[in-house]
């Protein structure tokens, strides 16, 4: 089971170093941290698996503000997120862009966690299945022949304190797995209080944790919940 912490635009190099000194991952769970770009070098010096939060589809070029997969690999970064809802909602990333980012990262030898999810309006209008199908199929087509993971993150549960019920998470994950036979993580206000119930669902293969990953104690508690769920 994979527990990934997306730090978003939090924790510079000094805070990253302090976190790594305080955090001891429990055995029996694969732990990933996704620091901001400025902290990747510091994080890569530590013992944890490190993913970036995004990567461009070109190895180099006139793309101000972007970072190439090959550059990440040279830093010692093992993978990257792509298609996070904040990238889609705030920065206009399309399904095509997300798919190209994912394929380029995989081709460069990086791991990928590709994010998908519907807005509250799309869920309430009955379009959740269509939205997920389009998003997942774009990624699956671009990444055919590669190993990667998908994170299902309902947009209405990102940073809102709202969380999908365990059954809602299970249903969405089963739907995604029906399109792409890959591990699927749940992301959306995962906290120590709800982690075990969410992770115990049969189609949930881990979690992409936001705010609760910023504190070593709460992130450790979520990792421990994953261990309990995974232990026979």
Catalytic residue annotation: 84, 153
CA–CA distance, 49 with 76 (Å, rounded to integer): 9
Which structure tokens are listed for 51?
Answer: 């993913």
- On whether the CB atoms of residues 149 and 114 are closer than 8 A, the answer is yes
CA–CA distance, 22 with 18 (Å, rounded to integer): 6
CA–CA distance, 231 with 222 (Å, rounded to integer): 14
CA–CA distance, 31 with 46 (Å, rounded to integer): 12
- On whether the CB atoms of residues 39 and 10 are closer than 8 A, the answer is no
Cα separations (Å) of 38 from 21, 22, 72, 193, 214? 18, 20, 12, 31, 16
Q: Which long-range contacts (CB under 8 A, 24 or more apart) does 15-20 make?
A: 15/39, 16/42, 16/43, 16/46, 17/42, 17/46, 19/214, 19/216, 20/46, 20/47, 20/48
């Amino acid at each position: 089971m994979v527990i990934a912490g997306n730090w978003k635009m939090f924790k510079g190099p000094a805070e990253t170093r302090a976190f790594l000194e305080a955090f001891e991952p429990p055995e029996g769970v694969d732990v990933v941290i996704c620091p901001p770009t400025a902290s990747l070098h510091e994080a890569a010096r530590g013992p944890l698996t490190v993913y970036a939060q995004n990567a461009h589809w070109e190895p180099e070029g006139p793309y101000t503000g972007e970072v190439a997969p090959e550059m990440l690999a040279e830093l010692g970064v093992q993978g990257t997120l792509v298609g996070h809802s904040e990238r889609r909602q705030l920065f206009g990333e399309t399904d095509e862009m997300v798919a190209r980012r994912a394929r380029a990262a995989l081709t460069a030898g990086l791991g990928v966690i590709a994010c998908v999810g519907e807005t509250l309006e799309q869920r309430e209008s009955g379009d959740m299945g269509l939205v997920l199908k389009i998003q997942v199929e774009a990624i699956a087509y671009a990444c055919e022949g590669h190993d990667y993971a998908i994170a299902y993150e309902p947009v209405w549960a990102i940073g809102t304190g709202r969380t999908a019920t365990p059954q809602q998470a299970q249903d969405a994950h089963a739907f995604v797995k029906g399109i792409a036979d890959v591990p699927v993580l749940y992301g959306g206000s995962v906290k120590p209080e709800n982690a075990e119930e969410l992770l115990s669902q049969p189609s949930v293969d881990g979690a992409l944790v936001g705010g609760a990953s910023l504190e070593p104690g709460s992130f450790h508690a979520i990792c421990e919940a994953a261990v309990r769920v995974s232990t026979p």
